[in-house]
């Protein structure tokens, strides 16, 4: 936790707001936390910094696309030389604990946790409107929950920090068990759902809503096979009528229609603004980037198929999926990254309802068919999917076709127990079971130097 510890003595980044987007990723000053938190505006500025941590290159800005998606079978990395071959190694299951992607992501996520914990600890001492204070708490706790959801899916047991830890005590941190981490994630999201508004003014677009908190909570429940509570919160999202499927799936990713009615939560970027843009996601110097098995999985009539084709952005030599193409400014793009959207919620709810009990009619079919028909496909009935297993497999298929490159595929394969068989079938390579978790960064193992409380994940020793 070396880099994390340093933040306890350094200064928290302070961010200003701008006219169109409440996040401005430009740090304008640094102030010791104990001296900074005085007013409601200070709290808002600090929670903006929590959001900004998600946009960094170590998280959704770049590294997560490698760790969460390129690891799976939708993307083929044909470049063994760029980044010293480290992205290629992750794509080909030959990585080790010294891979800098792991260290960068670990540090980046814990930096975000630190920002959230620092703000949460300071809020009680600020004299301000209690409703606003709880809203800010909800925003910070959602971001912390998302951070730990990502950490536990990437590495399994990790240190669970809900307060700021001084450098001396940090050396005694241990890897907390997965159940405890999920319990904290659930508690954070339950609080967020109860204290966040359903919508915001347009000037606050991008802040976490109660619907986003419920949607993520439903996903967290689904990953633990807690189907009954997942059904409740996901149905709340659907029934809220706040979110709608756009008529055309391509419009969801239009750079002129960002944060549209289908988006529950996205990480925001702004093209052409210093420190607010990002490089091209999944860009590859070779002609094959999208795995051929993904393209073959689509029907020709499927309107989602073109979004997954490899294309070359203007002024760029690399190939990438059309879904995230954006005309660059100074070689940088400004797409938002969709963390959670309604199509995902509908497919999760269809899956949950089916796991609770297959039915030949009802909402499970309704929600599945909403996603299919929006893509230009016909509705399915019990004649097509006559039992629970066939319905389940159709949901799994639609998740791959609807959500490629949105950081779901790798985790979907793991949580459904299909990762080894699917990787063998699609990538034609064997995947050792120990590689379902990544290695703890070697720097962290060396710093902690305690195999009893901070061991390396099995297979990477």
Residues 375, 378: Cα–Cα separation, whole Å: 9
Measure the CA–CA gap between 415 and 430, rounded to whole angstroms.
18
- pLDDT band for position 81 (cuts 50, 70, 90): confident
pLDDT of amino acid 10: 36
pLDDT of residue 345: 98
When the pLDDT of each residue in the chain is averaged and rounded to a whole number, the result is 91
Q: For residue 169, what pLDDT band results from cuts at 50, 70 and 90?
A: confident
Chain centroid, CA 211 distance in Å: 16
pLDDT of residue 274: 83
Please state which of the ranges 126-130, 273-277, 384-388 shows the lowest mean pLDDT: 273-277
Q: Using 50, 70 and 90 to split pLDDT, how confident is the model at 314?
A: confident
pLDDT tens per residue across span 44-68: 999 999 999 999 999 999 999 999 9
Whether the pLDDT of residue 31 is over 70: the answer is no
Which tens digits make up the pLDDT trace of 414-452?
Answer: 999 999 999 999 999 999 999 999 999 999 999 999 999
- Closest C-alpha among 52, 159, 55, 56 to residue 441: 159
What pLDDT is recorded for position 362? Answer: 96
> What are phi and psi for residue 407, nearest 5 degrees?
70, 35
Q: d(Cα 321, Cα 72) in Å, to the nearest integer?
A: 15
| pLDDT given for residue 371 in this prediction | 98
Looking at residues 193-203, what average pLDDT do you find? 97
Quick one: pLDDT band at residue 13, thresholds 50, 70, 90? Answer: very low
pLDDT band at 18 (very low <50, low <70, confident <90, very high): very low
**pTM of the prediction?**
0.93
Tell me: the pLDDT tens digits for 126-168? 999 999 999 999 999 999 999 999 999 999 999 999 998 877 7
Please say if the pLDDT value at position 23 is more than 70.
no
Average pLDDT over residues 333-361: 97
Token pair belonging to 254: 């239009």
| Average pLDDT of the segment spanning 238-257 | 97
Short-list 149, 160, 232, CA closest to 193: 232
Instruction: Give the pLDDT score at 331.
Output: 85
Residue the block writes with tokens 């999985």: 297
What would the mean pLDDT of 327-346 be, rounded to a whole number? 94
3-state secondary structure 368-388: HHHHHHHCCCCCCCCCCCCCH
- What residues form DSSP beta bridges with 320? 311
Tokens representing 227 are 């189907």
Confidence bin at 219 (pLDDT 50/70/90):
very high
Query: Who contacts 436 (Cβ-Cβ below 8 Å, separation ≥6)?
Result: 414, 419
Lowest mean pLDDT among 81-85, 155-159, 382-386: 81-85
Per-residue pLDDT at 379 exceeds 50 = yes
d(CA 380, CA 350): 13
Q: For residue 25, what pLDDT is reported?
A: 37
Token reading at 389: 């297993």
* For residues 213-234, average pLDDT: 98
Residue 12 pLDDT: 36
Rounded distance, CA 115 to CA 140, Å?
A: 9
Select from 1.20.1050.10, 1.25.40.390, 3.40.30.10, 1.10.150.120 the CATH code of 250-274+291-431: 1.25.40.390
Q: How many residues does the chain have?
A: 461
Angle between helices 130-155 and 40-55 (to 10 degrees): 20
212 or 23, higher pLDDT: 212
Judge whether residue 290 has pLDDT over 70. yes
Would you list the domain boundaries of the chain? 1-75+88-145+164-173, 250-274+291-431
Rounded to the nearest 10 degrees, what angle do helices 363-374 and 388-402 cross at? 30
Please tell me the least confidently modeled range out of 81-85, 150-154, 214-218, 453-457: 81-85
Long-range Cβ pairs for the range 200-207 (8 Å, 24+) = 203/19, 203/20, 203/22, 204/22, 205/21, 205/22, 205/259, 206/21, 206/22, 206/23, 206/51, 206/259, 206/266, 206/268, 207/22, 207/51, 207/139
């Amino acid at each position: 936790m070396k880099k994390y510890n340093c933040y306890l003595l350094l200064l928290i980044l302070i961010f200003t707001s701008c006219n169109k987007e409440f996040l401005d990723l430009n740090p304008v000053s640094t102030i010791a936390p104990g001296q900074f938190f005085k007013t409601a505006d200070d709290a808002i500025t600090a929670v903006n910094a929590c959001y900004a941590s998600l946009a960094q290159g170590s998280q959704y800005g770049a590294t997560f696309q490698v760790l969460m998606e390129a690891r799976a079978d939708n993307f083929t990395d044909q470049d063994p030389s760029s980044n010293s071959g480290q992205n290629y190694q992750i794509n080909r299951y030959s990585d080790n604990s010294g891979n800098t992607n792991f260290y960068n992501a670990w540090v980046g996520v814990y930096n975000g946790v630190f920002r959230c914990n620092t703000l949460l600890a300071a809020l009680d001492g600020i004299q301000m409107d209690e409703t606003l204070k709880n809203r800010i708490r909800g925003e910070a706790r959602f971001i912390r929950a998302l951070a730990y959801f990502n950490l536990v899916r990437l590495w399994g047991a990790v240190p669970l920090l809900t307060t700021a830890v001084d450098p001396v005590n940090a050396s005694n941190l241990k890897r907390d068990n997965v159940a405890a981490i999920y319990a904290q994630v659930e508690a954070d999201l339950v609080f967020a759902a109860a204290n966040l508004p359903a919508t915001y003014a347009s000037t606050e677009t991008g802040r976490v809503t109660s619907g986003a908190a419920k949607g993520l909570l439903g996903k967290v429940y689904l990953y633990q096979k807690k189907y009954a509570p997942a059904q409740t919160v996901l149905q709340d999202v659907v029934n809220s009528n706040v979110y709608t499927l756009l008529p055309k799936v391509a419009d969801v990713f239009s750079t002129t229609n960002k944060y549209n009615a289908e988006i529950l939560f996205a990480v925001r970027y702004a093209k052409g603004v210093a420190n607010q843009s990002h490089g091209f996601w999944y860009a590859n110097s070779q002609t094959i980037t999208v795995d051929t098995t993904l393209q073959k999985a689509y029907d020709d009539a499927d309107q989602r198929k073109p979004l997954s084709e490899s294309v070359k952005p203007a002024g760029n030599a690399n190939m990438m999926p059309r879904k995230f193409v954006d005309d660059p400014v100074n070689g940088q793009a400004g797409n938002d990254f969709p963390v959670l959207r309604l199509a995902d919620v509908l497919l999760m709810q269809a899956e949950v309802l089916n796991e609770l009990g297959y039915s030949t009619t009802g909402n499970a079919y309704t929600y599945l068919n909403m996603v299919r028909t929006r893509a230009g496909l016909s509705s399915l009935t019990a004649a097509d999917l006559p039992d629970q297993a066939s319905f389940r497999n159709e949901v799994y298929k639609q998740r791959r076709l609807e959500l490629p490159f949105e950081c779901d595929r790798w985790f979907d394969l793991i949580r459904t127990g299909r990762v080894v068989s699917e990787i063998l079938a699609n990538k034609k390579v064997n995947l050792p079971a120990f590689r379902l978790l990544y290695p703890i960064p070697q720097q962290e193992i060396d710093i902690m130097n305690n195999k009893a409380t901070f061991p390396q994940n099995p297979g990477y020793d």
